[in-house]
Structure 1
């Protein structure tokens, strides 16, 4: 402890009941925004316009002291929304909570302009939060392209949350766009429901000159694979005057596309739910007022600016009879000096002696470059980052020479089976595919890990499906064979008649 002093601060977290406060021992995070001004990012990025940035080495000064695996863990900050969804009987109310959780998952990115460290191949991260009721493990399963997989579950066995993310980064001159490719799945076990969605696109503006600011935009479609209900959310781009800045709007629809509820809010602040008719009436009136304002203003058609537009109002206008679904927790007073971390993010690097003896050596909490940067030792962090990256390149080169592929613990067949079993409820066709590709080809289903978690009815129904499938195949084969024999006999009879 040479440069920094140990500080104690209170972390206040919201859960389903209320606010839970606890003291955390934490090293003061060294804020490097001043040091960033000494570097010209343009000298690095000017040759990369339109290119993918995952293969480009960036100076450590532009990083934040967290791995991308830890950045993924920010999804779990508002886990209380999942617990609440699991406790509700109405599927529409459950969808509301799941949609609020999907919006809250990106809220921590606001003003987080530091780039997380790229995980090394095989790097892992584990976190258990008894106070929030979940445990999580994640792993970097591919390096090129960079793919991170995570799996979380409730400590009360009420949910499973998993997915894989491939963050595709591109530089467009004045901004960097991050498209998080990959599907996220949430399973509510008590209701036998599976929800899937993808994240919106994130864009960081003013990369070259000006103050950095973040924007989320794009459509997010959340699907309940059991009921067929969908929630389509539109993360709106800011627009010319900034009126739409950070806004999120959408509808919950049933299978027939009937609107059940309207959702609105800002991904940086809160989410509300209201009756669709009330929301449509408000939108119609708001559009009319906007057109009147536009007519009263003289808009200059000059060069488009990349500066952050100022919205008409920072707070969300609450439509009468709306229901609050989620509100962001305030950040600590010292957040601006700590990479704009949330209270949740500030403890992601915590390691005590008891934990250090248990977690694997691949855990990113033990990475020397991240730890050095957190302690403010920028030069050491840069050296360690360079050493680890060179070591990873050398290992990849050795694998290519020996023609040895990187393999994760679970085989490809089990991964495909896991997709069928866990991402959505199995339909009749899925069961047939399961039987043909896994049971028949691999001499039984018991050795396959996901099949062990099927209940008795599901497990034996697979056997029944296989038996019926075999019977149907046999019957179809006999019918085709019989038709061919009849046709051949008919042709022979016709030829004999012609000869006579």
Structure 2
């Protein structure tokens, strides 16, 4: 059932829905590509894929044009160098996507209250796995503008703040905290465009502190692959190992994400063990990242102990049926102003006009607003360079730490505590500001109104 421990190995995604059955016809006629693997991960026929494709926003002629324009990028990292059409986006930014990990934060409350060090790892590993259900959505989130932020409150007492701290390379930093935990991440994504698929490598450092015992955990997630990016039915896979290490004790969890085989064999499956500091298995874990995770005590051979049962630790919540963007109920909360704090920062992702236009179904306006924001970002960069100034984030400080990852080194940003002071002052204020998309202009800019500046 489970895999023994190994090395270390998630991501953001893009999608273009089109007919599964048209794959060979188009690929054979374009660039002479051969051997591009096409799998229906649900194990269903082409009719189902075609029906799904009809619900998409990607027209055949647009798809072919996009394929021709993208061929020069095969083998390259396209994280920040390609202008993508708005029709492949979902109305959410990467900063908001990072906040979706907070949905099942009750698992961290259980971990913080748990006295058993191995069960504590079961709860926290399940928490990290829970976000993969949200990450399987095949629409791409918007890249944040430099200086853009996202704030979230009104969920399990959590205060969440994220900020885009670098544009080239794109780096996001986030901090979340309540009475049970402190969560910090510096996230930098590296990609490799392979024509009809995209490999996504998570160059990030993720740390979680549980407050009662002060233990610190560090995560190394597996890479992610976006399959059938242009031709066929788009689907997501994250084959590889997720390693969660207790830096305080040396205990760890190693979970193996099974790769999807033909007709969906093995898709979603996760198996592995909780190990003590001597690398002896103590608890086996098994499940599916889109469904549930369970655990059972095991012997030194990794076999379940007699007189013990497999017990469920986490199960995915019900989601809306036929949701336009495959959103969960929590994803809608992330986009809502109901989870926004008093005196929301004008740099918040909710206020982006391109994101909001897409949410309202106006692709034309979303595209023009996206282009306008990107041009303002370039204009601000020119001003900054002319003044010989570096961009300085507000809520995170760049450190001199360089963290090694399986896919490259990462510059580390740390939460500086200033947001807590800002939020406390705003919450004590007697004035009530109703911040919304109609009354507040999105403003992440370092130099104010760039249309007036130029």
1:375-390 to structure 2, matched below 5 A, reads 375-390=360-375
Q: Structure 2-normalised TM-score?
A: 0.72
1:271-350 to structure 2, matched below 5 A, reads 271-277=293-299, 280=302, 321-335=309-323, 338-350=324-336
Q: 2:140 aligns with which of 94, 102, 115?
A: 115
Go from structure 1 to structure 2 and tell me whether the alpha carbon gap of 1:279 and 1:379 turns closer, same or farther (over 3 Å shift). farther
Match of residue 53 from structure 1: 78
Does 1:125 pair with 2:150?
yes
| Whole-angstrom distance in 2 between the partners of 1:208 and 1:355 | 36
Go from structure 1 to structure 2 and tell me whether the alpha carbon gap of 1:410 and 1:252 turns closer, same or farther (over 3 Å shift). same
**Structure 1 residue runs without a partner (length 5+):** 1-30, 283-318, 420-447, 451-500
Partners of 2:165 and 2:396 within 8 A in 1: no
Q: 2:127 aligns with which of 93, 101, 126?
A: 101
Partners of 2:152 and 2:159 within 8 A in 1: yes
**Structure 2 residue runs without a partner (length 5+):** 1-52, 404-415, 419-454
Report Cα offsets for 1:325-373 as digits up to 9, x if no partner.
Answer: 11111211132xx211111101222126x95871111011111110111
Match of residue 81 from structure 1: 107
Partners of 1:273 and 1:324 within 8 A in 2: yes
| Whole-angstrom distance in 1 between the partners of 2:417 and 2:289 | 38
Report Cα offsets for 1:436-492 as digits up to 9, x if no partner.
Answer: xxxxxxxxxxxx979xxxxxxxxxxxxxxxxxxxxxxxxxxxxxxxxxxxxxxxxxx
Structure with greater helix percent: 1
- Count the aligned residue pairs: 348
| Whole-angstrom distance in 2 between the partners of 1:395 and 1:32 | 40
Q: 2:237 aligns with which of 198, 208, 215?
A: 215
Partners of 2:163 and 2:395 within 8 A in 1: no
Partners of 2:151 and 2:341 within 8 A in 1: no
| Whole-angstrom distance in 1 between the partners of 2:341 and 2:126 | 35
TM-align CA RMSD: 2.7
Go from structure 1 to structure 2 and tell me whether the alpha carbon gap of 1:355 and 1:328 turns closer, same or farther (over 3 Å shift). closer
Match of residue 373 from structure 1: 358
Partners of 2:281 and 2:302 within 8 A in 1: no
Larger radius of gyration: 1
| Whole-angstrom distance in 2 between the partners of 1:279 and 1:371 | 53
Q: Which runs of 4+ in 1 moved over 6 A?
A: none
| Whole-angstrom distance in 2 between the partners of 1:390 and 1:103 | 37
Task: Return the offset for 1:409.
Answer: 3.5
Partners of 2:395 and 2:417 within 8 A in 1: no
| Whole-angstrom distance in 1 between the partners of 2:134 and 2:340 | 26
| Whole-angstrom distance in 2 between the partners of 1:349 and 1:211 | 27
SS at match of 1:190: coil
Go from structure 1 to structure 2 and tell me whether the alpha carbon gap of 1:166 and 1:355 turns closer, same or farther (over 3 Å shift). closer
Go from structure 1 to structure 2 and tell me whether the alpha carbon gap of 1:401 and 1:33 turns closer, same or farther (over 3 Å shift). farther
| Whole-angstrom distance in 1 between the partners of 2:401 and 2:230 | 46
SS at match of 2:121: helix
Q: 1:170 aligns with which of 166, 179, 192?
A: 192
Go from structure 1 to structure 2 and tell me whether the alpha carbon gap of 1:81 and 1:412 turns closer, same or farther (over 3 Å shift). closer
Q: Structure 1-normalised TM-score?
A: 0.65
| Whole-angstrom distance in 2 between the partners of 1:35 and 1:418 | 41
The higher relative CO (CA closer than 8 Å, separation ≥ 6) is in: 2
Does 1:403 pair with 2:388?
yes
SS at match of 1:98: helix
Task: Return the offset for 1:412.
Answer: 5.6
| Whole-angstrom distance in 2 between the partners of 1:51 and 1:252 | 37
Partners of 1:204 and 1:215 within 8 A in 2: yes
SS at match of 1:399: helix
Report Cα offsets for 1:53-80 as digits up to 9, x if no partner.
Answer: 1210001001000011001111111111
Go from structure 1 to structure 2 and tell me whether the alpha carbon gap of 1:250 and 1:64 turns closer, same or farther (over 3 Å shift). same
